[in-house]
Structure 1
Amino acid sequence: MSEQQIASPVELEPPDPLPRPPPRKPSAKDENRFKITETLGCFFFLLALCYLCLLYGRIPRAQYAAEGALDSSEKLVGTVATRDVFAERGFYYSPTALEKDKKDSGDDDDSATPPGADTGAVAPTREPPADLIQVFPDEIIVRKGSVISDETARKLQAHNLSIRQHNRINRRLLPVYQATLLCALLLLCFGLGIHNLKPDFFHRSQRIVLGSLCAALHLSLLVAGQWLHDNVFFGNSLHLYALIPLALAPALAAYLMGMRIGLCLTLLLSALTALLLPSNHPFLLGINCFLIAMVGLLLFHNVNKRYRFAWGGLGVAAAVFAFSLFFAWYQDMPWLWSGLSNYGPKLLALALLNGLIVVVALFLLPSILERVFDVTTPSSLGELNDRDHPLLERLRKEAPGTYEHSLNVARLATDAAKAIGANPALAEVCAYFHDVGKLCAPEYFAENQLGDMPNPHDQLSPEESCSILRAHVRHGIELARKYRLNRPIREAIAQHHGDSVIAYFFQRAEQLAKKSGGKAPDIADYRYDGPRPHRPEVVIVKIADTCEAAMRALFSNQGSSKIGGARIGERVNELLFAKMQAHQFDASSLTVADFMKIRDQIVQTLCNIYHERPEYPPKEETAPATPAAPAVNETQKRPTTPVAPVTPVEPESTAANGPPMETP
């Protein structure tokens, strides 16, 4: 390199910045891999929670007194009970003084106590021994504030030793890892059941996470309920089951994701509750959890008014109280009925607290979760169903024809959704907003063109007209995101045309190509962008939109007196089968029977809208009699007696101008 080049280096201009390439859209394989990873992550997360619940259940609970005091009944005699103590398990005790050898009871090893050992606690048998007294599960041993007698102290000692023996046997029969394996099998069965009942559940990662959170909420409530029961409320097992809000997680899942998912989650959580909660009768506990969860599921899955939340909470509280008494009667607890005045008020208070927790949680949590996970709840549908929504107000003012069309489509869609058991509120709201994209250019759509207004499409080519019509879908999605409309409504806006062909402009382009001898138009340029609808409510909106527009055109050309019910049925049949032959409904899960119900209901509703009326005959207008003009000489004569003035009958046109003047 020369010295001149070193002394005076040439300054190079910076290169033009290259445009950034658009972000790569993930392929279907990448999306499937991500969903599988997310599903496995939620599975192991729930399995870990089950494992922690099992560990918490195996931790020895805090007993009434210290271990040394319970090993010797003499240390408890004369002391005052600081809380109520209930029998966690059934056992027998001797009314005579029975002392336990400290070296046999002080450690908690795996060696079981011999059946005939002097323990003060004897394993339950079918027939109680003659010299022992039986204590039933959940029976009260000592009440708070009472002085502990010698017999009560021996009963407490026997209760403590029976729990130790049960813990040793329980660890041998069902270790934690075996119970965890059983939880894993339950979770696997739940996933397979959801996949078969609702195949699109695993297509959205948000639903997977939301369902896992509902299950995690239930497992957390199990642990929290046990801790409160052991450290705050101090009751028997009925009080424990009345304290835990077993209906909350299933009702929340049904409220956010639908009845099917809520029912599947109810079955899963009932089985897990029977496995994770300590109980002498786990099968009855699972049945109790299932019944209470079903009550919450039925009361809260479609709540959209405040007073229904209150009634739902009272219903859950009544179910908890009633089922607790029923299972106490079923398990043969005679001591409970004799002491119902002592147990009943606390049980009723816990049931009311349970219902209150469910109501408050279902009133607050959905408003947060529906925004985070982009789901639609009955409450949000009730808000969007208000016609004073700002976007509907714009549609009513700027595109009044489209607004009236949307109201008619909503009526058709609501009735059709009821006919097949779909969500009528969701179908109605989707119909209200499905054409909001026409606000971009309302004058280019026929329903907004007045009779004397020139058609702007006459000055455009078919390709330009088609691009304007296709743009209303894209613009509608942008408006939906701007106004924060829920995901199902955005799907209705994007899918209510599917990928169908804009037939009018495609045929017009073909005619122009034949006349000019040019290239035939490509049908792909005259299709909507799609995708095809898959949600039942969106399919109904698509059918209702097509039928309403066709009936409006038929009515405009022929009049309602010439249409008739038969003609409406034929036209709806033609439109529906044309869409089916074009494979517009292949992505939906509706059956042929569902489509027939939709067709029949739409025909019936259209017949109600475009009903025939008799034509009124024209009104015959008769000219009123006009009095003859009086002669001049007669007007100058006045009668000698006063005569009432006569007002002549005037025609309607004259009477409209004012009352006639009286002539003297």
Structure 2
Amino acid sequence: MTNLKSKWTSIVNRFSFQKNEGFLTALFYLLIALIMYGSLIQSVLPEKMDISLYSVAERDIASPVTIENKQATLQKQNEAAEAVEPEYTNKVETTQTQVEKVEDFFASIAKVNEVNASEEDDGAVEEKSLDEKLTELKEMLVSSAINELSDDTLQAFLTTSSTQLAISKDVIITSVKNVLNERITVEELNQAKDNVEEQIQKANLNSSVREPSIELARAVIIPNFFIDTEATKVKREKAIESVTPVMIRQGQIIVQEGQVINREALEQLEVVGLLDEHFNLYPLVGLAILVVVLTGFLAYFIQERGFTQLNRNRYNVMYLTIFSITIIVFKLVSLSAGLTSGIHYVLPAAMGTMLIKLLISERLALASALVFAVVGSILFNTDTVGIFNGEFGLYILVSSNAAIFLLGRHNHRSKILKTGLFVSLINIVAIIMIYMLRMGQFDWIDLGVYSGYAVISGFLSAVLTLGLMPFFEAAFRILSTMKLIELSNPNHPLLRKLLMEAPGTYHHSVMVANLAEAACEAVGANGLLARVGSYYHDVGKTKRPNFFIENQMNMENPHDKIAPLLSKKIIVAHAYDGADMLREHRLPKEIVDIAEQHHGTTLLKYFYHKANEQSEQPIPEEDYRYPGPRAQTKEAAIVGIADGVEAAVRSIPKPTPAKIESIVRKIINDRLEDGQFNESDLTFKELDTVAKTICETLQGIFHSRIEYPEDLKKKVTK
């Protein structure tokens, strides 16, 4: 197991130190996208069914999408168009035109008879025969619309007296007007002709002209209402537009279990794509777009963490590992979702977000919770007809966010287990909420079983988190909150050694820890890291505890008997001896760096001035400076400030707020002018905040006390 961890650590280190950082970052996001895409591709592909006409459905078949049945809609539109009555236009001039034709007809009769009468009076020409009159009349009627009358009718009018002709004319015109004043369409034409015939039959006409008059009247009756093509077309178009499309709704049962599949059902199955044998590229493209959006969403929260490039690569690999494990767990549980109803609620949905919160950051955990909810809603869509199972996605989101908010800043192992218990309770509440929103359509027994699954989910989330935490801490050399809390235990061998061999230094370290933690939290740095780093920052003094003033009780100062240069070497060595001791005990690099960097390259002023007093020539400052390196992080710089401030304030006989602030400001300004903060991220504003916070903390420690009567008596006696 140790060899495996060491190999994995070496792989991570090699990965972290690659030169092409842009390539590594792109590869990181590409792998996240590929993991999501590969796990979800099967869940988005449409289901294909082997169904034939007149076969029996083995189960209920519901539509996976909401789609228009275009064939049914077209049929409905055609029916609506056919049901539309044609629009007619009334030609008001028809009556007058037809009446004029009747008048022209009788005028022609009169003309033919009039010509013959005049010629007979002159005696110049013989009277024309009836056939000749008929021929002449037909020639006159050629241009008229009344040219379809029979010869018998024309002969009857030619042989009728002028009196009877006048009566016939009046009867015909009156009857035609009466009929043509009413609506007459092409379909109603025969009925109109019958009406005019009926009116003439009732008229007082000579029997010799009755039938000819009827024939003439029927001949001039024509339609006066005609179909308006454009208006009818517009009306039919409006009728088509008013037709509601025939929709097949998502979740609509097309075929019930045991039902014989008829042609209509087969057409509907084909419309919704369940019988489509062709490969559909659209779901894959849609999934690709979704994956790109989710990856970009994660990238925003991953990039906002201000890691150095080395740490960024390490954290990226760690996040990729957590993300992969979470998706694999999701996928495995989804494969067993069909075994029994509600088994998917066993999913340890909070595991991934708990690991991300504990090992990386809370904001990234919140972003990841949303991504896991979307991924889970697609993976567990077997019980739904759509692509997304919104109810289960909500369950994942609630469970994940509950774990994030319930985990505090300082998390012991027992706190993680308690969080798992509370997540179980919240899971139960989420399930009850979901099923209550279904209008009460649930079974209490099923709800009890699902609640049991929810409890298992919370428990598994906590257990898996506890089981995987040591792996990530060892493999990626991550200093988690839980690890820091373990290192702060006074029973740690190095802290026990410090307490037993250098009690003054131990007390000094505790005081520095209080100051550094408060200052770090005030500027947004890791206060817990500063506290634990302060506990160990002077552990190197245990090699020569008597050479440090806080451990010199009732004894002479050994530095008075040795050369300043040797004293400098002993004092300087404690930082690097401590770093070596911390490495031997395999403490995290962040703690080692604080021990090694908390003095930076500061000058040992006391021994430097002492050496100059004893030397005839000026001594370079470099000979009496710590070799460094300077503080690389805010935590290391603040621990260095707190270390110097605590030692300086402890030497003040009667500390007052003014004296404390003066010393704190002086130490910070001296280090600032000496360039000790140049390689850390501390700003001037943050340094001012650090100074104020340290002053407030020290004033709470060195507050003034009232003198009790016993103390006053002792003081007077003395």
Instruction: Quickly say closer, same or farther: Cα 1:593–1:343, change in 2 above 3 A.
Output: farther
Partner of residue 479, structure 1: 581
| Alignment partners' CA distance in 2, 1:432 and 1:534 | 19
Partner of residue 348, structure 1: 451
Partner of residue 596, structure 1: 688
Partner of residue 411, structure 2: 304
| Alignment partners' CA distance in 2, 1:52 and 1:469 | 59
Q: 2:572 aligns with which of 452, 470, 479?
A: 470
User: In the TM superposition, what is the alpha-carbon distance from 1:51 to its structure 2 partner?
Assistant: 2.7
Instruction: Quickly say closer, same or farther: Cα 1:68–1:284, change in 2 above 3 A.
Output: closer
Instruction: Quickly say closer, same or farther: Cα 1:46–1:406, change in 2 above 3 A.
Output: same
Q: Are the equivalent residues in 2 in contact too, given 1:381–1:429 (CA < 8 A)?
A: yes
- Cα offsets for 1:337-384 (capped at 9, x unmatched): 222436523432332232122111112111221111111223322222
In the TM superposition, 1:149-164 aligns within 5 A as: 150=259, 164=273
| Alignment partners' CA distance in 2, 1:436 and 1:620 | 39
Q: 2:534 aligns with which of 418, 431, 435?
A: 431
User: In the TM superposition, what is the alpha-carbon distance from 1:432 to its structure 2 partner?
Assistant: 0.9
Partner of residue 551, structure 1: 649
Q: 2:326 aligns with which of 190, 193, 218?
A: 218
| Alignment partners' CA distance in 2, 1:227 and 1:569 | 65
Q: 1:47 aligns with which of 33, 36, 49?
A: 33
User: In the TM superposition, what is the alpha-carbon distance from 1:220 to its structure 2 partner?
Assistant: 1.8
| Alignment partners' CA distance in 2, 1:91 and 1:258 | 41
- Cα offsets for 1:420-445 (capped at 9, x unmatched): 45444333221111101112222222
| Alignment partners' CA distance in 2, 1:413 and 1:504 | 25
Q: Are the equivalent residues in 1 in contact too, given 2:564–2:610 (CA < 8 A)?
A: no
Partner of residue 96, structure 2: none
| Alignment partners' CA distance in 1, 2:683 and 2:655 | 30
- Cα offsets for 1:491-523 (capped at 9, x unmatched): 22122112322222333344444xx13xx4333
Partner of residue 663, structure 2: 571
Instruction: Quickly say closer, same or farther: Cα 1:521–1:88, change in 2 above 3 A.
Output: farther
SS at match of 2:291: helix
Instruction: Quickly say closer, same or farther: Cα 1:591–1:251, change in 2 above 3 A.
Output: farther
In the TM superposition, 1:504-515 aligns within 5 A as: 504-513=606-615
Q: 1:313 aligns with which of 416, 420, 426?
A: 420
SS at match of 1:317: helix
For the pair 1:366 / 2:469, whether they are aligned, the reply is: yes
Which amino acid in structure 2 is aligned with residue 350 of structure 1?
Y
Q: Are the equivalent residues in 2 in contact too, given 1:214–1:253 (CA < 8 A)?
A: yes
| Alignment partners' CA distance in 2, 1:527 and 1:75 | 88
Instruction: Quickly say closer, same or farther: Cα 1:228–1:294, change in 2 above 3 A.
Output: same
| Alignment partners' CA distance in 1, 2:448 and 2:244 | 35
Q: Are the equivalent residues in 2 in contact too, given 1:395–1:436 (CA < 8 A)?
A: yes
For the pair 1:179 / 2:287, whether they are aligned, the reply is: yes
Q: Are the equivalent residues in 1 in contact too, given 2:632–2:679 (CA < 8 A)?
A: yes
Q: 2:56 aligns with which of 43, 67, 74?
A: 74
| Alignment partners' CA distance in 1, 2:316 and 2:247 | 55
Instruction: Quickly say closer, same or farther: Cα 1:299–1:468, change in 2 above 3 A.
Output: same
User: In the TM superposition, what is the alpha-carbon distance from 1:250 to its structure 2 partner?
Assistant: 1.9
| Alignment partners' CA distance in 2, 1:502 and 1:187 | 52
| Alignment partners' CA distance in 2, 1:131 and 1:182 | 30
- TM-score normalised per structure 1: 0.67
Instruction: Quickly say closer, same or farther: Cα 1:265–1:508, change in 2 above 3 A.
Output: farther
| Alignment partners' CA distance in 2, 1:295 and 1:422 | 25
In the TM superposition, 1:186-335 aligns within 5 A as: 186-188=294-296, 190-200=298-308, 203-230=311-338, 232-234=339-341, 240=344, 242-266=345-369, 268-269=371-372, 278=381, 280-281=387-388, 289-300=396-407, 302=409, 304-323=411-430, 326=433, 333-334=438-439
Partner of residue 522, structure 1: 620
User: In the TM superposition, what is the alpha-carbon distance from 1:73 to its structure 2 partner?
Assistant: 5.5
| Alignment partners' CA distance in 1, 2:674 and 2:46 | 67
| Alignment partners' CA distance in 2, 1:369 and 1:210 | 7
Instruction: Quickly say closer, same or farther: Cα 1:260–1:114, change in 2 above 3 A.
Output: closer
Partner of residue 210, structure 2: none
Partner of residue 617, structure 1: 712
Q: Are the equivalent residues in 2 in contact too, given 1:214–1:252 (CA < 8 A)?
A: yes
User: In the TM superposition, what is the alpha-carbon distance from 1:306 to its structure 2 partner?
Assistant: 4.5
User: In the TM superposition, what is the alpha-carbon distance from 1:418 to its structure 2 partner?
Assistant: 4.5
Q: Are the equivalent residues in 1 in contact too, given 2:36–2:327 (CA < 8 A)?
A: yes
Instruction: Quickly say closer, same or farther: Cα 1:285–1:592, change in 2 above 3 A.
Output: farther
Which amino acid in structure 2 is aligned with residue 356 of structure 1?
F
Q: Percent identity?
A: 24
Instruction: Quickly say closer, same or farther: Cα 1:312–1:620, change in 2 above 3 A.
Output: closer
SS at match of 1:543: helix
Instruction: Quickly say closer, same or farther: Cα 1:469–1:172, change in 2 above 3 A.
Output: same
User: In the TM superposition, what is the alpha-carbon distance from 1:215 to its structure 2 partner?
Assistant: 1.7
Q: Are the equivalent residues in 2 in contact too, given 1:91–1:159 (CA < 8 A)?
A: no
More moved, 468-477 vs 500-509: 500-509
Q: For structure 1, which runs of at least 5 residues remain unmatched after alignment? A: 1-27, 93-111, 118-127, 143-147, 623-664
User: In the TM superposition, what is the alpha-carbon distance from 1:136 to its structure 2 partner?
Assistant: 4.4
Q: 1:398 aligns with which of 501, 504, 507?
A: 501
Q: Are the equivalent residues in 1 in contact too, given 2:44–2:284 (CA < 8 A)?
A: no
Partner of residue 546, structure 2: 443
| Alignment partners' CA distance in 2, 1:321 and 1:71 | 46
User: In the TM superposition, what is the alpha-carbon distance from 1:247 to its structure 2 partner?
Assistant: 2.5
Instruction: Quickly say closer, same or farther: Cα 1:546–1:271, change in 2 above 3 A.
Output: farther
Aligned CA RMSD, in angstroms, stands at 4.4
Q: Are the equivalent residues in 1 in contact too, given 2:57–2:260 (CA < 8 A)?
A: no
User: In the TM superposition, what is the alpha-carbon distance from 1:607 to its structure 2 partner?
Assistant: 2.4
Q: Are the equivalent residues in 2 in contact too, given 1:501–1:527 (CA < 8 A)?
A: yes
Partner of residue 629, structure 2: 531
Instruction: Quickly say closer, same or farther: Cα 1:87–1:365, change in 2 above 3 A.
Output: farther
- TM-score normalised per structure 2: 0.63
Instruction: Quickly say closer, same or farther: Cα 1:444–1:427, change in 2 above 3 A.
Output: same
For the pair 1:500 / 2:605, whether they are aligned, the reply is: no
| Alignment partners' CA distance in 1, 2:299 and 2:26 | 11
| Alignment partners' CA distance in 1, 2:61 and 2:466 | 35
SS at match of 1:376: coil
- Cα offsets for 1:189-226 (capped at 9, x unmatched): 53354333424365453222111112212322332232
Q: 2:639 aligns with which of 537, 541, 565?
A: 541
Q: What is the aligned length?
A: 528
Instruction: Quickly say closer, same or farther: Cα 1:158–1:276, change in 2 above 3 A.
Output: farther
Q: Are the equivalent residues in 1 in contact too, given 2:326–2:351 (CA < 8 A)?
A: yes
Q: For structure 2, which runs of at least 5 residues remain unmatched after alignment? A: 1-13, 74-242
| Alignment partners' CA distance in 1, 2:264 and 2:465 | 44
Greater relative CO, 1 or 2 (CA 8 Å, sep 6+): 2
User: In the TM superposition, what is the alpha-carbon distance from 1:551 to its structure 2 partner?
Assistant: 1.0
Q: Are the equivalent residues in 1 in contact too, given 2:50–2:275 (CA < 8 A)?
A: no
Instruction: Quickly say closer, same or farther: Cα 1:320–1:534, change in 2 above 3 A.
Output: farther
| Alignment partners' CA distance in 2, 1:152 and 1:493 | 79
